[in-house]
Amino acid sequence: MQRRMFVSLIAAAAAMSFGAGAAHAADPVKIGFIVKQPEEPWFQDEWKFADQAAKEKGFTLVKIGAQSGDKVITAIDNLAAQKAQGFVICTPDVKLGPGIVAKAKADGLKMMTVDDRLVDGTGKPIESVPHMGISASKIGNQVGQALADEIKKRGWDMKEVGAIKVSFEQLPTAHDRTSGAVETLTAAGFPAANIIDAPQAKTDTENAFNAANIAITKNPQFKHWVAFGLNDEAALGATRAAEGRGFKADNMIAVGIGGSESAINEFKKPSATGFFGTVLISPKRHGYETSLDMYTWITEGKAPPPLTLTTGALMERGNYEEVRKQMGL
Ligand code: FCA
């Protein structure tokens, strides 16, 4: 009896020294989180919430920034060499889809995508890879509605308003977001001819600034401007370009998508800027939940849901703290 107790004590001590989660004690869980633009606050936030999941569950999170296809491939190889079992990725280019899937398979890693969904050679989403993204068209509709409401509130004549559509057509979620905004804006009576396409080369503030600058320069006929794009960086770039051309808060309404630090900093400025609002989306769901999904997949063999689309809520200068709190941020 005493001997048996001694043996089980030793077993318990051994299990403890390997850490919690005894079933995989010899094989610690390691998960990669690869993002395309690590400097962007949205991705910093995703990482922050992924870290929270890692802390709670006791796995190791490997955060990697990969701005090109080459870097993605190197990142996957590195993860395999470090004995990671899986990764979550927001790819720098969705067309890399088949290559990334093949690489993960060759290296024996589980993968799921976040934000930007991989496409195959014909441009169709790769449905075999679990994905969490935003409900892009609906959130675009919310942006368009916010713009239309504010134009009306200010009593502007829509004929005299230009709309900068900062576009990034090669990314399906970007296309869906801006199309949603256009749809709602025109349904509210905004003239389609006043929507000026401003294609950006990359989805950051600088490229949005350059794109918007050209749009404004080429269209001196407008008295007021509104702007939208796929994220806050697009709306901010357009805001800065408009400011440079003399269109400040009272003649510019930009609405972004995101609600991370770039937007908050803008709302915190002592006086209002042309960055009127943003549709807050959840970096917590996209960072915490995806990492947890991957952890469950690795430890219990239960694959994440094939497709999860998250929602957003409009927030403005006057209510951003409240709206963020409501979303648990
Ligand atoms: C895309 C955009 C990001 C963010 C994310 C949810 O990846 O590039 O800015 O909006 O979707």
Nearest CA to ligand 1 atom 3: 231
What is the Å distance from ligand 1's center to 33 Cα? 15
What is the Å distance from ligand 1's center to 99 Cα? 21
Verify whether ligand 1 is closer than 6 Å to residue 42 (CB atom).
Answer: yes
Find tokens 């469950």 and name the residue.
Answer: 296
The pLDDT-based confidence of 236 (bands split at 50, 70, 90) is: very high
Candidate of 230, 236, 310 to mutate for ligand 1, largest count of ligand atoms within 8 Å of Cβ: 230
**pLDDT tens for each residue of 147-173:** 999 999 999 999 999 999 999 999 999
| Position 245 pLDDT exceeds 70 | yes
The pLDDT-based confidence of 27 (bands split at 50, 70, 90) is: confident
What is the Å distance from ligand 1's center to 37 Cα? 9
Q: Which amino acid is at 283?
A: P
| Position 18 pLDDT exceeds 70 | no
- Residue among 264, 261, 255 at smallest CA distance from 230: 255
The per-residue pLDDT for 26 is 58
The per-residue pLDDT for 37 is 97
Burial of 248 (0-12, 13-18, 19+ CB in 10 A): middle
**pLDDT tens for each residue of 248-305:** 999 999 999 999 999 999 999 999 999 999 999 999 999 999 999 999 999 999 999 9
What is the Å distance from ligand 1's center to 115 Cα? 6
Verify whether ligand 1 is closer than 6 Å to residue 262 (CB atom).
Answer: no
Rounded Cα distance, 151 and 154, in Å: 5
pTM for the predicted model, two decimal places: 0.92
What is the Å distance from ligand 1's center to 231 Cα? 6
For residue 318, which phi and psi values (nearest 5 degrees)?
A: -80, -20
Rounded Cα distance, 35 and 66, in Å: 6
Find tokens 């648990």 and name the residue.
Answer: 328
Rounded Cα distance, 54 and 300, in Å: 16
Write the CB contacts of 194 (distance below 8 Å, at least 6 apart in sequence).
158, 159, 161, 162, 163, 222
- Over residues 7-29, mean pLDDT: 49
* SS3 sequence of 158-195: HHHEEEEEEECCCCHHHHHHHHHHHHHHHHCCCCHHHE
**pLDDT tens for each residue of 101-121:** 999 999 999 999 999 999 999
Q: Give the ligand 1 atom nearest the CA of 90.
A: 7
- Over residues 66-89, mean pLDDT: 98
- Over residues 77-85, mean pLDDT: 98
| Position 17 pLDDT exceeds 80 | no
Q: If you ran DSSP here, which 8-state letter would residue 231 be given?
A: S
Q: What is the average pLDDT value for the chain, to the nearest integer? A: 93
